[in-house]
């Protein structure tokens, strides 16, 4: 049985249509994997804000607040959702303060600063044996802060392609109470999961 020219044209058109659909699907998958896939966040800056509202050696008085501000840039087309932002403060290895900020999100292709102020427990510092030496002899109060943020980005169409990241910002903060100044040095580690 002979195939007519109309049937040959119909078969050729169907094959061409199927090939075009497959090429379009392949281009769409490539676009999703290259352009739309979530990318890990970048830490743009980390800054420590100190507020010393009261200080006396005798009788001992200290009112100090530390805040680590972490600026996170989300280069993805998907929003970055992050969990609770926890900041802990230590003085010579002893915990003297901790605070947490609620979870939130960094919109797609934007930058957001996250952080929370931590009130330092003055009673724990004043009774520490290092306090008098630090405050009187050296004129400095050394603190260590650790801020932890965990986040996840996933595009709506690409749920299997999620990017999870854990961010840790550790800062050495030196407060000069007599001058009412401070200095800090921070290191940031970002672990992409």
- What are the domain boundaries of the chain? 1-36, 38-192
CATH number of 38-192: 2.60.40.10
Give every CB contact of residue 177 below 8 A, 6+ residues apart in sequence: 52, 55, 62, 135, 139, 140, 141
Tens-place pLDDT, residues 14-36: 999 999 999 999 988 777 777 76
Distance separating alpha carbons of residues 25 and 19, to the nearest angstrom: 10
> pLDDT at residue 52 above 80?
yes
- Of 148 and 156, the structure prediction assigns the larger pLDDT to 148
Q: For 61-87, what is the mean pLDDT?
A: 90
pLDDT at 43: 84
pTM above 0.85, yes or no: no
């Amino acid at each position: 049985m002979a195939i007519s020219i109309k049937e040959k044209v119909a078969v050729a058109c169907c094959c061409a249509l199927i090939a075009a659909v497959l090429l379009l699907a392949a281009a769409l998958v490539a676009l999703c994997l290259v352009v739309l896939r979530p990318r890990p966040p970048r830490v743009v800056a980390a800054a420590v804000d100190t507020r010393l509202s009261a200080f006396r050696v005798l009788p001992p008085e200290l009112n100090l607040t530390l805040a680590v501000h972490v600026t996170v840039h989300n280069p993805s087309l998907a929003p970055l959702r992050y969990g609770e932002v926890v900041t802990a403060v230590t003085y010579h290895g002893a915990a003297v303060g901790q605070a947490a900020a609620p979870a939130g999100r960094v919109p797609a292709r934007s930058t957001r600063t996250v952080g929370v102020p931590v009130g330092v427990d003055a009673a724990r510092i004043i009774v520490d044996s290092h306090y008098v030496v630090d405050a009187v002899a050296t004129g400095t109060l050394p603190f260590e802060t650790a801020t932890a943020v965990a986040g996840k980005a996933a595009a709506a169409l690409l749920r299997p392609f999620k990017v999870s990241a854990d961010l840790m910002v550790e800062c050495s903060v030196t407060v000069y109470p007599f001058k009412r100044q401070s200095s800090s040095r921070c290191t940031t580690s970002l672990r992409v999961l």
